Every structure is written in C-alpha cells, then in structure tokens.
Structure 1
Amino acid sequence: MYPEERQGLIARAVTDAGRISVREIAARFDITTETVRRDLQALEEAGALRRVHGGAIAPERASLVEPAVGERRQVAGDAKRRLAEVVASRIPEGFGGSVFLDAGTTTGALLDPLARRLSGGRAEIVTHAVQHAAALAETGAVALTLLGGRIRALTGAAVGAQTVREIAGIRPDVALVGVNGISADFGLSTPDGDEAAVKRAIVRAARRVIVVADRSKFGAESLHRFAGLDEVDAIATDEAPEGALAAALAEHDVEVWAAQAREKEATT
C-alpha cells in the first residue's frame, strides 16, 4: 500500500472514531510505530487531524474548538431528540420540584418534551440560557426563572461572577447539564473558562446531576474541566458508551440512560 493511500485511510478512521491510537494504526496496517508517527505528522500538517499523546484526534475535537449555536444545531439532531425524550420520560408524572436547564443545543432539544412533561404541574425551570428562557416563556407551560449575568454571544448563555453567585444561592432538585467532552480520565469539560465556572456552580448546587450528551462527546476533552464523573448521577445519551468510558461510569455508579437501549426494549 502506498503511503498516501494509507494516510487517507488513517484520516478516515480518525474522522469516523474521533480518536485513534498509534498502536491501533500500527496493528491495522501492519506497520511500525515510527511509520505511524510519520504518517500522523504528515496528516497533522495537512490539517486532517490533531496529534495527541498516544495517537490522534479529529481536528474538531481540539480543546478550544467551540462551534457557534447555529452550527451545533445541525449536528446529531436526531440523536439529541431521541435522548431528550429519554430524559423527559425519567421525570415522574406530577413532578413538583425545580429543574436547572443548562445552556447548549443538546439541552435545547429538551425544551418541548420537558415543557410537555411538566405542564400543568408545580414544577419550575431555572436557566441561564436566554434562548431557552425565551422558548419556554412562549409556551407558558411551566414556571420559569432566568438568571442574570453577562451574555456570551457564542452560546447565548449568561456567564460571569453574577451568574455564579446566583446559582450558588439556589438548590435545584435536578440539573440537566450539557458538555463539550466527557472522558474516563478528564471527566466533564468545555472550551471556555467562564462557561466552565457556571457549569461547575450548577453541579455543586444541584441535588441530582444528569449529564445530557450525544455520543459525539464521548472521549472528547476540552480545555476546562468542570466536574468529575464522581459528581454525576446519570448520563442521558443516544447510544451507550463503550470501553474505558463505560468502565469509568460503572466504577462511579453513574446510571446510563441510552435512547438506543430504550428503543430496543420497546420493540421486544
């Protein structure tokens, strides 16, 4: 196989999996680790991947990459809708507590199913996301509180010292938290420091923390860690994680609510 052909296959493998190790590549193509590293260097110079310790990741998984809300709405839309229904189904009928809804497009997929589930009850939704609040206010289905702070244009979320103080002064029963990355070693992470501070405050304030993440976030590590897996009660996702992340979640007794598993149960 020519080097150019092999490098094309390596780039495709990284794109498909999000991450691949030097050992995996060496075994797959029966080449030395030195040859793998030369291939990875050439592919990184071409912008096809980013090299990390022990292997490579897709370029969009770099620690500071953060697409705008409009771009993220187009990614994994069906997956986000499926996992949103899973989350809503886990909220008891007649729930009369408080729910903190984090900013982001994955949590944004929860707006309609959550409003339907809580409509007519005594529940209240608290959020720092301007777009979430606007959409929920239009429905008039639930009591709603919007926290203040400096609005970050990229995500439409209130951030900063004021937001963190306001979160520290409440105790929501459930927090639905979005992430940019979730990994066995690094935990939950996001690219922006101000967003990380707000998410950290949410995790500390809530009685129960539910991470809402589609499978594209598995294994990804952004620059700022805001919580460990030991601080999470459950993860709602479209497809159950495997490998090291699955083992780490089990070790910390984190429940996994997978839409894929729920769909299989419904058809049997």
Structure 2
Amino acid sequence: MIREERLKLILDFVNEQDYCSNEKISKHLNIPFTTLRRDLTDLHNESKLKRVHGGAKTIREKSILEAFLDEKLLTNIDAKKNIANKALACIKPFETIFLDAGSTTFFLAEIIKPELNNKIYTNSIINAQILAKNGIKDINLLPGKLKISTRAICGVETISALSKYNFDLAFIGINAVDNEFNFFTTDEDEAEVKRIAIKNSQFSFGLADTSKNNSKSLVKFSDKSQIALINEEV
C-alpha cells in the first residue's frame, strides 16, 4: 500500500471513530506499529488529526464568525507580518495589484514600497489610508457599501467596478481554511468581491495565518486550485 493511500485510510478511520487506540488502528488496517507511529506523527504535524497518548483523535473543524477589524489587528501580529513580508516578495515593479480588505492585507499595505511604482486597487478604506501614508502614489479605492465591522467596501457597485479591471496580482483575505484547503469568508457580498478579483487576476494569493486552519465559515469563495496560500509556515 502506498503512503498516500495508507494516510487516507488512517484519517478516515479515526474521523469515523472520533478516537482510536494505536492497537485498534493497527489491527483494523493491518499496519505495523512502527509504520503507524510514523504516519500518525505526519498527520498530526499536518494538523489533520491529533496524536494523544496511546492513540489518535479527530480534529473537528471549528466555525469562524466575523470579528471586528480592530480586534483582528491585535491578534497573531507576528504571523501576519511574516505573511506580509512573504507576499511583498511576490510583487514586481509596475504591476497592477488588487489588495483585499483584512488584517493581514493591512500589514502588507504598510510595507509595499513606493519605488515599486505599483497601481493598487483596494476595497478597504483603512488599507487605502495606510498605502497613502506609506507614500504609494497610485491608489484606487473601489466604490460601494461600507461594512462597518471589517471596513470593507462591497456590494453591487463594488462588483460592477471591479469587473472592469484586470490585475497582475491579487492578495485576498481569508477567514477560514478547511482540511481540503477550501477558503471561506463570513459574508456573501465580500465573497463575491474576492471571486471577481481572483477571476480577473493573473495570479492570486490567499493570506491566512495557521490559526485559521481546520475551520470553516459561512461562504466558500475559492480553493487551492485557484489561489496560492501564504501562511507563516509556507
């Protein structure tokens, strides 16, 4: 049995049972203890299950609700700054960029260099302000309805305006990432803005620290086939 098939069998079996002892997994799937311990360690390190003394247990996906932007700017700051620096390395001079609303994109807005001469479109008032403070000259704020909790601009006007443009890069905020690397947000209007930005971009990057792993939120807007995930570990 190849490793990928074996890992899937182990994961499916543990998820069905909620908790399994090493002995039960080994006997049921006919996997030697030495191989099983190595596989369980790999699955644990990938956050697909949790190793516990004598066995393994499932990781239930948590549901993420929308927090206010002011709160999110105070959480996981080091991870978000790390992600922002990785995202900055993807930007080349004179590229046209869509910068989504969100706390991690806020930290990216802080460090985009004026000398790159990028044209930047955003649906975030606060990101536009930070870009201006950072010396960016070509800032384009999309029209639409302001969502107070996230300071994101969204809605029919936003989608209509966004549909006119094509971008070199899009940096997309993510609320939740499930075990299959589907990406979620909490609001259908914001989800549609993200979908259009991804569709109209040559390359799209999702920015999400690992605290958002193993979770879901209200609306799926994309998956790993459409955007590359940047977190503090990748």
* Contact residue 121 and residue 142 of structure 1 kept, 8 A: no
**Which structure has more helix as a fraction of its residues?**
1
**What is the CA-CA distance between 1:131 and the residue it aligns to?**
0.5
The amino acid that maps onto 2:105 is T
* Contact residue 182 and residue 222 of structure 2 kept, 8 A: yes
Q: Kindly indicate whether residue 168 of structure 2 is the aligned counterpart of residue 173 of structure 1.
A: yes
Q: CA RMSD in A?
A: 2.1
The amino acid that maps onto 2:100 is D
Aligned counterpart in structure 2 of residue 151 of structure 1, from 121, 124, 146:
146
**What is the CA-CA distance between 1:182 and the residue it aligns to?**
1.8
**What is the CA-CA distance between 1:196 and the residue it aligns to?**
0.9
In structure 1, C-alpha distance between the alignment counterparts of 2:91 and 2:77, rounded to whole Å:
22
**What is the CA-CA distance between 1:167 and the residue it aligns to?**
0.8
Q: Which residue is equivalent to 1:103?
A: 101
Alignment of 1:56-71 (within 5 A): 56-57=60-61, 61-63=62-64, 65-71=65-71
Q: Kindly indicate whether residue 204 of structure 2 is the aligned counterpart of residue 216 of structure 1.
A: no
Matched-pair identity in % = 27
**Which structure has more strand as a fraction of its residues?**
2
Cα offsets for 1:200-231 (capped at 9, x unmatched): 11111111101111111222111101112211
The amino acid that maps onto 1:69 is L
In structure 1, C-alpha distance between the alignment counterparts of 2:208 and 2:196, rounded to whole Å:
19
The amino acid that maps onto 1:62 is S
* Secondary structure, aligned partner of 1:194: helix
Cα offsets for 1:44-96 (capped at 9, x unmatched): xxxxxxxxxx7634xxx325x1111111112111000111111112323xx11
Compute the TM-score of the two structures, normalised by the length of structure 2. 0.73
* Contact residue 188 and residue 228 of structure 1 kept, 8 A: yes
The amino acid that maps onto 2:97 is V
Cα offsets for 1:209-265 (capped at 9, x unmatched): 011111112221111011122111x221101xxxxxxxxxxxxxxxxxx2xxxxxxx
* Secondary structure, aligned partner of 1:75: coil
Cα offsets for 1:1-40 (capped at 9, x unmatched): xxxxxxxxxxxxxxxxxxx956453438x9xxxxxxxxxx
* Contact residue 72 and residue 105 of structure 1 kept, 8 A: yes
Cα offsets for 1:81-140 (capped at 9, x unmatched): 111111112323xx11101100000111101221x2xx1243111101010001112233
Alignment of 1:135-150 (within 5 A): 135-150=130-145
Alignment of 1:172-251 (within 5 A): 172-185=167-180, 187-232=182-227, 234-239=228-233
In structure 2, C-alpha distance between the alignment counterparts of 1:27 and 1:142, rounded to whole Å:
60
In structure 2, C-alpha distance between the alignment counterparts of 1:101 and 1:123, rounded to whole Å:
11
* Secondary structure, aligned partner of 1:189: strand
In structure 2, C-alpha distance between the alignment counterparts of 1:72 and 1:170, rounded to whole Å:
29
Compute the TM-score of the two structures, normalised by the length of structure 1. 0.64
In structure 1, C-alpha distance between the alignment counterparts of 2:200 and 2:158, rounded to whole Å:
13
* Contact residue 84 and residue 110 of structure 1 kept, 8 A: yes
Moved >6 Å (runs of 4+): none
* Contact residue 125 and residue 144 of structure 1 kept, 8 A: yes
* Contact residue 149 and residue 163 of structure 1 kept, 8 A: yes
Cα offsets for 1:167-225 (capped at 9, x unmatched): 11100110000101122436111111111111111111111101111111222111101
Relative to structure 1, is the Cα distance of residues 55 and 215 closer, same or farther in structure 2, using a 3 angstrom cutoff?
closer
**What is the CA-CA distance between 1:164 and the residue it aligns to?**
0.6
